[in-house]
Structure 1
């Protein structure tokens, strides 16, 4: 019935002669060569075959809307069919999923329509891996996502591995991502994604994961380090880990005085002993500190104080104090004092009536003071203080010279000179005071006056005979009393005359 309909349409449009010669293509052309997917790099030959038409149709290959021409197309005809080959010399990955169409058309568009067949070209190629973010940074405790983009035909299976580890981490074909929900510092490293689809080479990509974490000082660092006093070039290194790499320094605890790492002492002394802190710091994180106590041990050493001398001089009767200060660890059990006279005889001293020994202990030091409250000439000599511990001993010699008391003539001369100087100074002060009017001026410089309300009595004759009226403040007072009564004071001999050789006495 189908053929009858086609012929019926042809009879209507054609003359009887034309109708006998024209046969419309009954079927769409057949495509051959696309049944099996091809691989990249291979040559592909596709065939388009059409039969049953008269005249034979024109076959054309199209890539979408673009027609293939030239050497890519080769036409062959045989009895009642036509065949056109499409030759692609070398397939590429870009040829995958291309829509290829073969169209059969006859020279009578008025009565015929083109017949088409199409198919999608499948080209297999090895996986190609691309990494959009080759380096990922995360803070410890936060999530991290690593991504590999894979292009392959057919689809590839993806596996992740951390370089340096043998076992794969996980596979995620759908998202092609590796997600670490809670990163730790141990997750840092290089991760490799591999894509395989059976076609070599295998696709490979790498992503670097950097994990930031706060500074951490090596917990194995010793809390106490013992070093011997006097050692040269002692150093103590602090190991710290962190990302970013921390700056490591040392400081004396409870101070802001810093030293670089390692902590170095060119020569160890007892004052080096103490607690030191290793401090590690990096941007964005708090400081990390760890204490280490440096314990300095060694033999005793003498510490000289400012102004101390190894030779002392004293006078008989004076108090003398001699001291020795020793630094040591461990401290000596005691500091011994030995007295050596000028003949070389030695005697160990102890606290008693003639001398006293005072001991004062500190953490790393001991001071012993020998006190002689009342020295004599026989105390002259050499005083030796000694101290020792398990590491060694030390001693110090102090020379004490005692001189006798000062000669009497020197003492008398000194006292006399002092008395003369004192009298001279007093006389100068009196003269100066008189001139300034501070003393005696109100009575001596002013004339003697009698109150106006009382008439002045006549002066006794003996006053004029003596010619004396300025013998002092007390004498003036006596004369006033005498003038008031007109009765002279009896003399010391019982007579009525005045004894000018004695000072008048009060009644």
Structure 2
């Protein structure tokens, strides 16, 4: 409402233009919603000591009143038919009288002038500017060029939402705004044409709190009384909020079966669960969803192995209707798997297996993979336990076996065994080959009995790694300490030894043959000594006894005596004691005889002797018998 008082007042609008000359002009502004009743005020109260004569209402620049009231005729009033609706004038309204226009429309908009005449006072003019407000006509919510309403979606959590609210009609131009659950979120609207207004709402990322939220677009141009509304409710697909694995809190044992669970919640609709081990998807046993669909639990049957220790077990929960990359929520757990040791034995990396010589230091490394760590490590050499002996140079340091100043006795197969709470692990075997100078082989023939001008074939047998590749011979007579080197061509190398043919010609040719062997490591320190002497007949066999006497067979065992320096054989003679008849006579290389097909119940006399080219030994007598058949049956 604006008051203005001027001596000369001119008003113009799109409908008319006129000038009123008066002492005072008062301007009122009235807005009314189309279809409602407009109330146009006019002060008709007379000044003191005066009275009201006449009230006239004019519209715009018309010279004909649309309403007339003559107070001199006892309040009688009339109206001219220049309007399309009823006009009433309320005199008893306070503080001013009102002209009532019912069911106003666009055509009623304009400037109204109320002229009031008094008996003695000057005429009073009141101007009223009437504005008819036209409500917005239509409201629509548009998404992707289509109108939407009610429930829209579902949209993926995190996605962008863009809605356009388009309003047509309304005067003055309506305000278009967006509301989220009764909270104003966007009031930026633009007019795209004379009677179209729109407001584009953009939510960059939909959040969980937007689920079931109501977005309301409203248009208003008359203090909220001409508001039209269109609303939609949001439906969302939600990611899983949390994921948790249970059942792996304690160490697992390889080879045993375990039930592991993965639970997730917050997904809408309910989440699917995938298991991964070593980045390979595992087959879950069961999957269950709570009644409200909020939580999902997946059960995995797992039989872990040693290779699963420290591996990532991943539980991946995802919304099945959303893009997996954007809806996935994962939880992982490093598996703690206990397993028995697996061992691998290696010779020290800085050692060359084919170049180890007596006196070198060697070490073995037992590579162990197990969980928990081993509480005991055992070492074996040729199947026998190796014990730590620092004085002998055998040391055990963590997972290593150290042998200082190794000798040929340390050659052979080695292995290691690791033990933990889950079991025992035996390693492979590693062959240790210690190279050494030749040494004289024990238990070979060292005494050679030979007559003059006979030939003794002497074999020089040595042990060496690598084998001997040359030999040196010398002779030392019995009568003096003089030693004579023998020519290189005097001996013939055979296999791993040297064969030397020696023929004494006189008494001075009896003594000792000495042999030195040589290999890549060096020459033998102490020679092999072979005694050459005048051959004699052998000693008789010893410890002869009869064993395994049956009804038709006997068995005799003896130990060989000194062979006299030459190859010997053994002779067995069996006689019937009663008749003195020779029943059996046999010679052979070994002092052992078994004779069958004898008569039962016979007493026997046995003679055993040894002989060589120098003669026969003394006889060794034995008595024996075959068991009588009757006695045998009785014994049974």
Q: Into which bin does the TM-score normalised by the smaller protein fall?
A: 0.3 to 0.5
Greater strand share, 1 or 2? 2
Greater relative CO, 1 or 2 (CA 8 Å, sep 6+): 1
Greater helix share, 1 or 2? 1
**TM-score normalised according to structure 1 size:** 0.41
